[in-house]
């Protein structure tokens, strides 16, 4: 026997059931008498239940959190504002067209691009190895890959010098057998930048591979695709936005590398003097040139951050949220494999 809005228990007492906006629930319904869902047309919320939550969140903001947050924001913003205020905007074109400045900028772009290419060639397979295979020492290898992210760049330069220097573990054989000297050359700049910047690419691609749906790769295997074809036709298209984002981070990190470069490659004009090294030297003689080069590096960093927000790589935001929609994926997968 039942009554409207409930049922009779023993003794004839009605059992109240909470009724929510999506139907009836059990005795322990989601909405009780004091915890009712706001009505969609409630005039107090303007027809939008989420506005009440937002207003309550704003009221709960504590000054104990706002004050330190504001100080932290100013601490990060004021140095950039000072750089923009003190910039010699009228003389900026002349400063950036000087021979030494152009050499430093051109060398930085060339070495950063070469670093990104090397990182793509070796970093993407390394990320796939860490994400798709299981072998003894995988955790140790992952720790070694991420170590340059927290290691001081100067320490990385010293380590490279001890390995690839003329008296290093490997460098002595390269110099004695083949006459190859890597330190204090442009090749040394690329190697130093790769050591510092490649982990950014590896971490980005590995995260995308771990969160990608492996059923597509399994389906490709059932359709007769080999490991290389599966990687080229299935895995890479799924992780392409993450690879692009990692490459952008790698390029920006290589462009701003200082410690490992000056320790391992030195500071020779036109050969190893990149833009950060030129900024460091210009501070002692010509502060306007140092500020101009700093503005160039700042503009590059801002551009990379804007790109990573999804404006120029729309797929980056989608792959980080939900790996895209899966509708029609099996058909597209079957068409991609001959």
Residue 189 pLDDT exceeds 50: yes
Mean pLDDT of 207-218: 84
Find the radius of gyration of the CA atoms of the chain: 29
Q: Strands 6-8 and 14-16: what pairing?
A: antiparallel
CB 212 within 8 A of CB 240: no
Residue 272 lies in a domain: yes
Q: Where are the beta strands (DSSP E) in the chain?
A: 2-3, 6-8, 14-16, 19-20, 23-24
Q: Please state which of the ranges 145-154, 251-260, 270-279, 317-326 shows the lowest mean pLDDT.
A: 317-326
Quote the CA–CA distance of 310 and 321 in Å, as a whole number: 12
- For residue 223, pLDDT over 90 is answered with no
Q: What pLDDT is recorded for position 278?
A: 92
- Nearest CA to 317 out of 198, 208, 215 is that of 208
- Are the C-beta atoms of residues 244 and 177 closer than 8 Å to each other? no
- Rounded Cα distance between 206 and 218, Å, is 18
4 located within any domain: no
CATH of residue 111's domain is: 1.10.3720.10
Is residue 315 a contact partner of residue 240, using CB atoms and an 8 Å limit? yes
List the beta bridge partners of residue 67.
none
Q: Round to whole Å and give the CA distance between 188 and 114.
A: 12
Q: What is the pLDDT of residues 278-319, one digit of tens each?
A: 999 988 888 888 888 999 999 888 888 887 775 444 544 454
> Is 246 inside any structural domain?
yes
Return phi, psi of residue 114, to 5°.
-65, -40
* pLDDT score recorded for residue 325: 43
pLDDT value, residue 236:
86
Q: Is 309 within the bounds of a domain? A: yes
Residue 77 belongs to some domain of the structure: no
User: What's the pTM value of the predicted model, to 2 decimals?
Assistant: 0.72
In a domain, 28, yes or no: no
Range of the domain at 98: 87-336
Q: Measure the CA–CA gap between 205 and 211, rounded to whole angstroms.
A: 10
331 inside domain = yes
pLDDT for 57 equals 54
Predicted confidence at residue 306, as pLDDT, reads 81
Q: Domain for residue 44, yes or no?
A: no
Main-chain phi, psi angles of 119, to 5 degrees: -65, -35
What is the per-residue pLDDT across 90-122, written as a single tens digit (0 to 9) for each? 888 888 888 888 999 999 999 999 999 999 999
- Secondary structure (H, E, C), 250-271: HHHHHHCCCHHHHHHCCCCCCC
**Which tens digits make up the pLDDT trace of 4-46?**
444 444 555 555 554 444 444 444 444 444 445 555 555 554 5
Examine the pLDDT at 334 and tell me if it is beyond 70.
no
**Distance separating alpha carbons of residues 210 and 195, to the nearest angstrom:** 23
Total domains present in the chain: 1
Tell me what pLDDT residue 147 has: 92
The pLDDT value recorded for residue 301 is 86
């Amino acid at each position: 026997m039942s009554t409207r809005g409930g049922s009779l228990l023993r003794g004839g007492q009605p059992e109240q059931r909470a009724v929510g906006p999506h139907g009836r629930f059990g005795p322990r319904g989601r909405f009780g008498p004091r915890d009712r869902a706001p009505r969609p047309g409630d005039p107090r919320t303007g027809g939008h239940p989420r506005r009440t939550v937002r207003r309550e969140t704003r009221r709960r903001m504590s000054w104990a959190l706002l004050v330190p947050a504001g100080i932290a924001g100013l601490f990060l913003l004021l140095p950039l504002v000072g750089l923009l205020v003190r910039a010699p905007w009228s003389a900026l074109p002349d400063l950036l067209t000087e021979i030494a400045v152009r050499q430093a900028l051109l060398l930085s772009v060339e070495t950063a691009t070469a670093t990104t290419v090397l990182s793509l060639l070796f970093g993407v397979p390394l990320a796939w190895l860490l994400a798709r295979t299981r072998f003894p020492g995988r955790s140790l290898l992952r720790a070694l890959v991420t170590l340059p992210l927290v290691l001081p760049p100067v320490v990385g330069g010293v380590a490279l010098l001890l390995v690839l220097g003329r008296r290093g573990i490997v460098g002595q054989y390269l110099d004695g057998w083949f006459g190859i000297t890597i330190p204090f050359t442009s090749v040394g700049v690329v190697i130093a930048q790769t050591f510092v910047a490649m982990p950014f690419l590896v971490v980005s691609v590995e995260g995308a591979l771990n969160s990608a749906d492996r059923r597509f790769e399994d389906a490709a295997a059932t359709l007769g695709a080999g490991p290389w074809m599966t990687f080229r036709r299935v895995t890479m298209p799924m992780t392409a936005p993450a690879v692009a984002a990692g490459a952008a981070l790698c390029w920006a990190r290589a462009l701003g590398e200082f410690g490992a470069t000056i320790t391992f490659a030195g500071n020779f004009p036109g050969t190893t003097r990149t833009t950060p090294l030129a900024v460091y030297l210009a501070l002692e003689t010509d502060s306007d040139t140092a500020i101009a080069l700093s503005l160039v590096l700042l503009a590059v960093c801002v551009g990379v951050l804007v790109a990573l927000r999804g404006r120029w790589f729309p797929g980056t935001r989608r792959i980080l949220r939900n790996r895209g929609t899966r509708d029609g994926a099996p058909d597209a997968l079957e068409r991609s494999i001959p």
